[in-house]
């Protein structure tokens, strides 16, 4: 190698991955229903906790879950973060709020985007509701919900988060 040739120490080699997903019975049912704009969870026969999205079993009890529960699209903020950096391959622009949300009647959180809110005013116990995409765009995905936005309901006390009835916080009060 001549002295004025720079050594090659790195080349870019992109990796692409496309995979087919076999959802299994419970998630397949969930995806089928969310295609129609319905949020469907499953209740554990032993501890009575409601899982959404359902995976067909309760990891806490180690038993299958079969009973279907249709849930509303209102939820409570269990915790959250304000993200200042972009997510790879996601067009969403920072800063944005990702919240761990528990639907009314459910006992486990999932993550989703929060919008139509002041990022600095988001808080644990806050009440939110889904903002859906237009029906024509619905597919087999949780993305049918564009984001959750705050609603005018009193905050849920911390010890009640994840324990609200299907009728929601107002029902419980």
Partner 1 sequence: MAKLAAVVGIGQTHYKTRRGDVSIAGLVREAAVNALEDAGLGWDDIEAVIIGKAPDMFEGVIMPEIYLTDALGCNGKPMLRVHTAGSVGGSTALVAASHVQSGMFKRVLTVTFEKQSESNAMWALSTPQPFSVHLNAGAGGYFAPIIREYMRRSGAPYDVGIKVAVKDRLHGARNPLAHLQLPEITMKEVEDSMMLWDPIRFLEACPSSDGACAMVICSEDLVAESPKPPAWIRGVAMRSEPTMYAGREEVSPQAGRDCAADVYRQAGITDPRRDLDCAEVYVPFSWYEPMWLENLGFAPEGEGWKLTMSGATSLDEGGDIPWNCSGGVLSSNPIGASGMIRFAEAARQVRGDAGAHQVEGARLALGHAYGGGAQFFAMWVVGADKP
- Contact between 76 and partner 1 by CB under 8 A: the answer reads no
- Contact between 78 and partner 1 by CB under 8 A: the answer reads yes
| In the complex, minimum distance from the CB of residue 72 to partner 1, in angstroms, rounded to a whole number | 18
Residue with smaller CB distance to Zn ion, 27 or 125: 27
Bond into 165 cis (ω within 30): no
CA 66 to chain centre: 21
- Tell me the HSE value of 143 on the side-chain side, using a 13 A CA sphere: 6
- Contact between 138 and partner 1 by CB under 8 A: the answer reads no
Residue with smaller CB distance to partner 1, 85 or 152: 85
Options 39, 42, 44, 127; binder of partner 1; rule CB under 8 A:
44
Options 36, 70, 79, 171; binder of partner 1; rule CB under 8 A:
79
Contacted by 46, from Zn ion, partner 1, none: CB < 5 to 8 Å by type: Zn ion
- Contact between 143 and partner 1 by CB under 8 A: the answer reads yes
Contacted by 173, from Zn ion, partner 1, none: CB < 5 to 8 Å by type: none
Torsion of CA 86, 148, 79, 73, to 10 degrees: -140
Residue with smaller CB distance to Zn ion, 35 or 46: 46
Bond into 6 cis (ω within 30): no
Residue 79 bridge partners (DSSP): 100
The residue among 92, 50, 95 whose CA lies nearest residue 75 is: 50
Residue with smaller CB distance to partner 1, 145 or 169: 145
DSSP 49-107: -EESS--SEETTTTEE--EEEEE-SEEEEEEEEEE-SPPTT--PPSSEEEEEEEETT-S
Residues forming contacts to partner 1 in the complex (CB under 8 A) are 9-10, 13, 15, 17, 21, 23, 27, 30-31, 44, 47, 49-51, 53, 58-60, 78-85, 87-90, 92, 98-100, 107-108, 110-113, 124, 140-143, 145, 158, 162
């Amino acid at each position: 190698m001549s002295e004025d040739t720079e050594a090659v120490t790195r080349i870019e080699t992109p990796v692409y991955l496309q995979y087919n997903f076999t959802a299994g019975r419970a998630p397949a049912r969930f995806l089928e229903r969310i295609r129609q704009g319905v949020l469907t969870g499953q209740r554990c026969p032993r501890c009575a906790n409601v899982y959404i999205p359902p995976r067909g079993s309760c990891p806490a009890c180690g038993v299958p879950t079969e009973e279907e529960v249709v849930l509303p699209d209102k939820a409570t903020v269990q915790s959250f973060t304000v993200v200042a950096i972009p997510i790879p391959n996601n067009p969403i622009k920072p800063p944005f709020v990702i919240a761990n949300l528990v639907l009314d009647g459910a006992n486990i959180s999932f993550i989703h985007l929060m919008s139509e809110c002041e990022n600095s005013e988001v808080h644990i116990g806050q009440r939110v509701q889904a903002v859906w995409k237009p029906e024509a765009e619905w597919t087999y995905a949780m993305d049918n919900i564009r984001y959750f936005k705050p609603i005018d309901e009193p905050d849920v006390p911390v010890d009640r988060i994840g324990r609200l009835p299907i009728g929601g916080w107002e029902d419980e009060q």
